[in-house]
Amino acid sequence: MTPQAYSAIVKRNSPKSKSAVNCLSAFLIGGGICVVGQGILEIWRVLGLQEETAKTMTSVSLIFLGVLMTFLGVYDKLAKHAGAGTLVPITGFANAMSAAALEFKTEGWITGLGAKMFIIAGPVIVYGTAAATLCGVIFWVLHLFGITLF
């Protein structure tokens, strides 16, 4: 079989791409998650919290909702339709950590839940810390030469 014949078979049997629909779905559901976050922020403000405290409580609330939705099996169903739209940073990260923990909870609290929770979060924490350290060193060196960026 020639490479051209093989490519024709693959093209004929491959599912058609729904990129436009997938992008729209990701945009709408991801945007919906952001709207919920904004609503939570407004609720915390109405309850009288100061701006910084309200923002912190919004983050905590979104993490809690992401973990709760993962535990109830709702987040996976939502992600099936939204794709990348559910990777909105804070809820997606909460889902990634809690899903790994739930998957391995049968192995025990330490070797299962405790250890496996950081399978996905570990590299993010390591490389995030390394990047922050590198940026800090660069800013410090620039500051030694009298250059201030912020």
Average pLDDT over residues 39-59: 96
Residue 11 lies in a domain: no
pLDDT for the residue numbered 105: 62
Regarding whether 62 and 30 lie in a shared domain, the answer is yes
pTM, 2 dp: 0.66
Q: Is the distance from CB of 144 to CB of 135 less than 8 angstroms?
A: no
The pLDDT tens digits for 1-45 are: 899 989 888 888 888 878 888 899 999 999 999 999 999 999 999
Domain that holds residue 132: 122-150
The pLDDT tens digits for 72-107 are: 999 989 988 888 888 877 888 888 878 877 776 667
Long-range contacts, 82-85 (Cβ 8 Å, 24+): 82/25, 82/26, 82/28, 82/29, 82/30, 83/22, 83/25, 83/26, 84/26, 84/30, 85/25, 85/26, 85/27, 85/28, 85/29, 85/30, 85/31, 85/33
Regarding whether 107 and 35 lie in a shared domain, the answer is yes
